[in-house]
């Protein structure tokens, strides 16, 4: 989204409305915005189509040729945290982490490009490994089609030739185990490219949707929509995504109910001990006042349980084994097996291996 006159609030609101209508028409839930040229860090809600726009840019006192942000459908806002970084990188995180990027063009110095990729590297490192990661934006970096040289980073359907900017992006993707989804699908070049050079008229692939290699199956299709009108000379690049989350659950071990050793009650001594202990425990309850019957009952239960445990103890749980060593028929078979084994071991003509 480009805004030639961002200081005019009416102009900004009109352009945001146009962009929001385009996003709604294409059923976009979250859109990364590049080269917004908007000052400072702020947000604006568009009520008609139900999107909220966030952006991060240069201070109002400085020249603004960059700026990044997001347009997010309002129903998804509760799942995300807004974490602006700079005029070239912004991040939203939640169950999924989205990074909106706008990389320097070829006209910028090598130092500016290195600083951008160092900052991007730092942001990616800060993303939890359990998060789904989507790296979106205008990278001004043709990555070419050399799948053999960049296996697992490029698919078999890249476009054009790689340049130095493309090498920087491909190197980062290889180090962070990322894949460029634009290159994964068989489709016409018109659905792969997103920007047409103003002088040559040639279309180039410089906008990307990038994810972790392990999650490539989450993206069903990535393609450009050149019919969109979003006040940009770039086509809208969109992905159809299907994500399943494995929510972590902390399983608490349920404490089993202990059973009293009631078999001890077969003796008169155990019976007398239990009777005396319960009587002693209940003496303390006689002069105690309770606010309600429930409290009285709970205290009575605790006293009786404790007296019973002190008198009888708890029974040890025994696991019945399927193999009963006292079973006569089993012992006969074991004796026969033992005899046969001795006979086999003493027979020199028997096979050495089984």
Q: What is the mean pLDDT of each run of 10 residues along the chain (354 residues)?
A: 45 82 90 88 88 88 85 83 75 83 94 95 91 94 95 94 96 97 94 90 94 94 80 87 63 60 86 86 72 78 86 73 56 72 65 46
349 by DSSP, 3-state: which? Answer: coil
Angle at 238 between CA 153 and CA 193, to 5 degrees: 65
Whether 194 and 283 share a structural domain: no
Cα separation, 46 vs 251, whole angstroms: 43
Residue 234 lies in a domain: yes
Q: What share of the chain is helix, strand, coil (3-state, %, to 5)?
A: 35, 25, 40
- The two tokens of residue 238 are 């969109």
Whether 44 and 192 share a structural domain: yes
H or E segment and range at residue 18: helix 9-25
Is the CB of residue 18 less than 8 Å from the CB of residue 231? yes
Residue 236 lies in a domain: yes
Tell me the backbone φ, ψ of residue 301, rounded to 5 degrees.
Answer: -60, -45
Whether 92 and 159 share a structural domain: yes
Please tell me the predicted confidence (pLDDT) of residue 137.
Answer: 93
Tell me the backbone φ, ψ of residue 98, rounded to 5 degrees.
Answer: -110, 130
What is the model's pTM? 0.66
Whether 267 and 229 share a structural domain: no
Whether 184 and 284 share a structural domain: no
pLDDT digits (tens, 9 = 90+) for 49-102: 899 999 988 888 888 778 899 999 998 887 677 666 788 888 877 778 999 999
Strand ranges across the sheet with 96-102: 80-84, 89-94, 96-102, 132-138, 207-212, 178-180
Please tell me the predicted confidence (pLDDT) of residue 330.
Answer: 59
Domain endpoint, select from 276, 292, 312: 312
Q: Residue 309's closest CA among 272, 267, 278? A: 278
Domain that holds residue 308: 262-312
Whether 222 and 281 share a structural domain: no
Residue 75 lies in a domain: yes
Whether 230 and 285 share a structural domain: no
Whether 78 and 206 share a structural domain: yes
CATH number of the CATH domain containing 176:
3.60.10.10
Residue 289 lies in a domain: yes
Residue 2 lies in a domain: no
Tell me the backbone φ, ψ of residue 154, rounded to 5 degrees.
Answer: -105, 140
Tell me the backbone φ, ψ of residue 10, rounded to 5 degrees.
Answer: -65, -40
Whether 51 and 128 share a structural domain: yes
Q: What is the domain count for the chain?
A: 2
Please tell me the predicted confidence (pLDDT) of residue 254.
Answer: 47
pLDDT digits (tens, 9 = 90+) for 151-193: 999 999 999 999 999 999 999 999 999 999 999 999 999 999 9
Over the range 34-67, which residues count as b (16 or more CB within 10 Å of their CB) and which as e?
A: bbbbbbebeebebeebebbbbbbbbeeeeebebb
Whether 24 and 111 share a structural domain: yes
Residue 350 lies in a domain: no
Whether 42 and 190 share a structural domain: yes
Residue 81 lies in a domain: yes
Residue 302 lies in a domain: yes
Whether 31 and 117 share a structural domain: yes
Is the CB of residue 37 less than 8 Å from the CB of residue 46? no
End-to-end CA distance of the chain: 76
């Amino acid at each position: 989204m480009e805004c030639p006159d961002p200081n005019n609030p009416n102009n900004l609101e009109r352009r945001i409305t146009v962009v929001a209508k385009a996003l709604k028409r294409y059923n976009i839930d979250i859109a990364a915005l590049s080269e917004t040229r908007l000052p400072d860090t702020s947000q604006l809600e568009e009520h008609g189509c139900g999107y909220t726009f966030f952006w991060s840019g240069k201070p109002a006192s400085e020249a603004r040729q960059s700026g990044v942000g997001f347009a997010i459908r309002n129903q998804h806002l509760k799942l995300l945290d807004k974490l602006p970084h700079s005029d070239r990188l912004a991040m939203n995180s939640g169950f999924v982490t989205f990074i909106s990027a706008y990389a320097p063009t070829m006209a910028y110095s090598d130092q500016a490009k290195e600083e951008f990729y160092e900052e991007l590297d730092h942001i990616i490192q800060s993303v939890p490994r359990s998060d789904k990661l989507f790296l979106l934006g205008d990278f001004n970096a043709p990555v070419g089609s050399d799948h053999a040289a960049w296996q697992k980073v490029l698919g078999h359907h890249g476009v054009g030739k790689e340049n130095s900017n493309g090498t920087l992006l491909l190197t980062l993707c290889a180090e962070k185990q990322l894949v460029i989804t634009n290159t994964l699908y068989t489709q016409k070049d018109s659905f792969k490219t997103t920007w047409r050079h103003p002088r040559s008229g040639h279309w180039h692939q410089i906008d990307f949707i990038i994810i972790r290699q392990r999650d490539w199956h989450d993206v069903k299709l990535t393609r450009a929509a050149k019919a969109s009108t979003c006040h940009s000379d770039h086509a809208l690049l969109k992905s159809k995504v299907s994500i399943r989350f494995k929510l972590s659950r902390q399983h608490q071990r349920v404490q089993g109910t202990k059973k009293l050793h009631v078999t001890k009650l077969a003796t008169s001594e155990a019976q007398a001990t239990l009777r005396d202990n319960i009587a002693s425990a209940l003496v303390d309850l006689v002069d105690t006042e309770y606010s309600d019957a429930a409290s009285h009952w709970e205290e009575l239960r605790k006293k009786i349980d404790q007296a019973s445990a002190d008198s009888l103890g708890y029974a040890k749980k025994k696991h019945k084994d399927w193999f009963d060593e006292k079973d006569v028929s089993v012992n006969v078979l074991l004796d026969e097996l033992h005899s046969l084994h001795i006979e086999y071991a003493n027979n020199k003509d028997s096979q050495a291996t089984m």
